[in-house]
Amino acid sequence: MSQKRRPSSARWLAEHESDPYVQEARRLGYRSRAVFKLKEIQDKDRLLKPGQVVVDLGSAPGGWSQLARPLLGPKGRLLALDILPMDPLPDVEFILGDFREESVLKQLEEAVGSQAVDLVLSDMAPNLSGVDAADQAGSIYLCELALEFARAHLKPKGGLLVKIFQGEGFEAYLKAVREAFESVTIRKPKASRARSSEVYLLARGYRA
């Protein structure tokens, strides 16, 4: 027997379908509306450049990788990772797994090898439980793992772009990022929903 759609999910679906970024993503052949968040930051800050080695954490369904990979050119390299499957993209090396697991981290580190990374992108977010305190803690933990990975693999002056939700733990995390990088900017792209506490920290000039 099919279940009736809950009013809240029906409302979300209706909002999603009428979202101009969703419609524009479909029109342009992008895999998700999230691509416009990265595109706005790229247009403003020029963080993706030819020849870079980039790691895309929380990559599925692949919108960010889709935008980023062509900008890196033939000499660039993009490694993507997500707990969810992602359809293949040309010249994108994808790892399926949970970034919180040691074995998955090891797999990613082996793929990176001895190459120093220019930029770590993280659009990771936990599966939401609806319990705000738990969801916030889960989000901050993923941000901490992204920073830890960046510290271990970025080349001097490298960069980190990480999604974070403002709330408990935000200020402490911001302080940690500021200690590791020469400059940190908070970006709230237009494609981020106004009611969401989501922002992106753009950190540049890694102090290796």
Is 188 among the residues known to form the active site? no
CA 181 to chain centre: 18
Confidence of residue 12 (pLDDT cuts 50, 70, 90): low
| pLDDT attached to residue 6 | 58
- The mean of the pLDDT values for the chain is 92
| pLDDT attached to residue 127 | 84
Confidence of residue 1 (pLDDT cuts 50, 70, 90): very low
What average pLDDT score do residues 123-131 get?
88
Q: State the Rg of the chain over Cα.
A: 17
Percentage of residues of the chain with pLDDT beyond 70: 95
Q: In whole angstroms, give the CA distance from residue 201 to residue 16.
A: 25
CA 177 to chain centre: 16
Query: What phi, psi does 117 have (nearest 5°)?
Result: -95, 135
Q: What are the residues whose beta carbons fall under 8 Å from the beta carbon of 147, sequence distance 6 or more?
A: 160, 162, 173, 176, 177, 180
Annotated binding-site ranges? 62, 64, 82, 98, 123
C-alpha distances in Å from residue 106, one per residue of 28, 111, 140, 155, 191? 35, 9, 21, 19, 33
Query: What phi, psi does 189 have (nearest 5°)?
Result: -60, 155
Confidence of residue 161 (pLDDT cuts 50, 70, 90): very high
Annotated binding-site ranges for S-adenosyl-L-methionine? 62, 64, 82, 98, 123
Range with the poorest average pLDDT among 33-37, 115-119, 172-176: 33-37
Q: What are the residues whose beta carbons fall under 8 Å from the beta carbon of 23, sequence distance 6 or more?
A: none
What average pLDDT score do residues 103-126 get?
96
| pLDDT attached to residue 7 | 61
Judged against a pLDDT cut of 50, whether residue 2 lies above it is answered with no
| pLDDT attached to residue 97 | 97
Q: 129-153, pLDDT tens digit by residue?
A: 889 899 999 999 999 999 999 999 9
Judged against a pLDDT cut of 50, whether residue 106 lies above it is answered with yes
Q: 15-61, pLDDT tens digit by residue?
A: 767 788 888 888 887 889 899 999 999 999 999 999 999 999 999 99
What average pLDDT score do residues 154-177 get?
97
Instruction: Choose, from 106, 163, 175, 188, the residue flagged as catalytic.
Output: 163
Q: 80: exposed, middle or buried (C-beta count within 10 Å: 0-12, 13-18, 19+)?
A: buried
Confidence of residue 4 (pLDDT cuts 50, 70, 90): very low
